A and B are shown apart, each in its own frame.
Chain A
Amino acid sequence: DAGVIQSPRHEVTEMGQEVTLRCKPISGHDYLFWYRQTMMRGLELLIYFNNNVPIDDSGMPEDRFSAKMPNASFSTLKIQPSEPRDSAVYFCASSLGSGGALGGYTFGSGTRLTVV
């Protein structure tokens, strides 16, 4: 398996533009997570899905953020409109079973977002 695949690796956009981040989880994993990492706040959980259904989006900072998982092999995180404070590395992770109890989470390589 190629692991969790995220695209793009880097994104530079202007304030006010829409940004879409993409993730392909490991085949067979039933949980998918979106995290954001900054120096100040570390890794923050934004939202997670179980069997394609959003379970907890309490970490999504504002209505500008939305996430979808239309099928078991694809998820998107959208920011509209983007703001400079959204600049961070966004990670997608997947796992088999709740909380990674069956072997931890597998993370993608992340998308480094810069909003100017």
Chain B
Amino acid sequence: SQKIEQNSEALNIQEGKTATLTCNYTNYSPAYLQWYRQDPGRGPVFLLLIRENEKEKRKERLKVTFDTTLKQSLFHITASQPADSATYLCALEGGSGNTGKLIFGQGTTLQVKP
């Protein structure tokens, strides 16, 4: 069955370090993958989209990689700040048979300590 896996354990890092979050998937052939940020009591907020033919995408302190062979995406936040503390969700467009809809992982909570 289709599955999206994100590390359920919270990631705790020190301010200034690079945070790396992982998203693995099985039985998908997504055309693209997206990352969202969710703060408590709020809806998810779109951060980045990376297409299947792109290896890497950057936006300010954010970097996303997408390896369709490994079926994995890595999400990096460089020079992390306490304000980066949130839950980060990866989402896949459903691919064949599920075109047009995003399926979300459970999310990983990041805690950046000053």
Q: Which of B39-70 contact A (CB under 8 A)?
A: 41-47, 49
* Chain B interface residue count, Cβ-Cβ cutoff 8 angstroms: 25
From A13-21, A67-75, A77-85, A104-112, give the one contacting chain B.
A104-112
List CB contacts (< 8 Å) of B6-49 with chain A: 31-32, 34, 36, 41-47, 49
Query: Using Cβ atoms and an 8 Å threshold, which residues of chain A touch B41?
Result: 109-110
Q: By the criterion CB–CB under 8 Å, are A43 and B104 in contact?
A: yes
Query: Is A106 a contact of B101 with CB atoms below 8 Å?
Result: no
Name the CB-closest residue of A to B47.
A104
User: How far apart sit A32 and B89, CA to CA, in the bound complex (Å)?
Assistant: 19
CA distance A101 to B34 in the complex (A): 9
Q: Which of B42, B45, B46 contacts A100 (CB 8 A)?
A: B46
> Is there contact, CB below 8 Å, between B106 and A99?
no
Given the known interface contacts A101-B31, A101-B49, the answer about A107 and B103 at a Cβ–Cβ threshold of 8 Å is no
Which residue from B43, B47, B99, B105 sits with its C-beta under 8 Å from A99?
B99
Q: Which of A48, A101, A107 contacts B43 (CB 8 A)?
A: A107
Q: Find chain A residues with CB under 8 A from B89 CB.
A: 43
Which A residues have a C-beta under 8 Å from some C-beta of B? 4, 31, 33, 35, 42-43, 45, 48, 50, 55-56, 91, 93, 98-101, 103-110
Instruction: Given A98-B93, A99-B99, A108-B43, output 20 extra A-B contacts at Cβ < 8 Å.
Output: A35-B104, A42-B105, A42-B106, A45-B102, A45-B103, A93-B43, A98-B99, A99-B94, A100-B34, A100-B46, A101-B93, A103-B49, A104-B36, A104-B46, A104-B47, A105-B36, A105-B102, A109-B43, A110-B41, A110-B43
Q: Jot down 15 A-B pairs with beta carbons below 8 A, ordered by A.
A: A33-B101, A42-B105, A42-B106, A45-B103, A56-B100, A99-B93, A99-B99, A99-B100, A100-B46, A100-B93, A101-B93, A103-B46, A104-B46, A107-B45, A110-B42
Shortest 4 CB-CB distances between A and B: which pairs? Answer: A104-B46, A107-B43, A99-B93, A98-B100
Which residues does B use to contact A, with CB under 8 Å? 31-32, 34, 36, 41-47, 49, 89, 91, 93-94, 99-107
